[in-house]
Structure 1
């Protein structure tokens, strides 16, 4: 029984020792925002939860740090308290889901980062919830197919990008009723009309 108590005491001492190496910090930055976080007493590296508040005490940012480096979720808030941006970090680099929102709370933009690069399909929405566009990213730039919609949900454009916002290949444009009005052949963002609906200028 004695050995058990000694072991428990050692664990408690170790835990107490670990806690004493971390201190709570609260300060006001040059913009008047209040920062609250924990840091190591040895090297002042941020550890754990970080929060930032405006002059009225409203939470503007929350993040998680490990050894003074963003690791995990970082959330930015509107003054209303609603979520504005949600980012995901892995040891200081973007890695994981990204989301941004309108002040109304409606999703604005969603996508994925891998090793600090935008990748895969990124979706942007109108404030009414309708999908505005879906764009494929590779190497941190638009690369691949894209599709756009009018706010009423009808098809607006479809084509592909190459090395950024440069249409490449066949581009189709549609009116607000979703009817095809023009076809264009594009080369690195320079497009020429190869077909247009009768009456189109």
Structure 2
């Protein structure tokens, strides 16, 4: 009986979600990557794991991590010169915790905090 049950459940494993690397390009010749990420491929494809977005010339524009299609780590954007532009923390797709914005030269422009996706406290 156990073997029969195992044989009946085995095909379900074949339909389980699997991760696939996805690359989105700026151009049809696929020479300039725009975004690189992993996605759970099933009926509904959702982003999963590290995510990177690039400027046309190849410099990193943004990076973060996705869990079940939602940002779930520090989200960082960069100026074209490679300096940080923005840092914000996400938990299950919601901004939660400190954030900073930066001038193109690298100096801090603004700091603050988000609680449940809403600004909280003073902005400096």
TM-score (ref. length: structure 1): 0.47
1:98 partnered with 2:22: yes
Aligned match of 2:90: 161
Larger radius of gyration: 1
| Candidates 108, 116, 126, aligned match of 2:55 | 126
| Structure 1 ranges of 4+ moved more than 2 A | 90-95, 114-117, 192-196
Structure 2, unaligned runs of 5 or more = 1-13
Deviation at 1:184, TM superposition (A): 0.7
RMSD over aligned Cα, in angstroms?
2.3
TM-score (ref. length: structure 2): 0.73
Q: Deviations over 1:115-170 (max 9, x none)?
A: 54311110000112111110110021111111110122111111211232x32101
What is the total number of aligned residue pairs between the two structures? Answer: 106
Structure 1, unaligned runs of 5 or more = 1-89, 197-201
Where do 1:1-201 residues align within 5 Å? 95-103=19-27, 105-115=31-41, 116-164=45-93, 166-192=94-120, 194-196=122-124
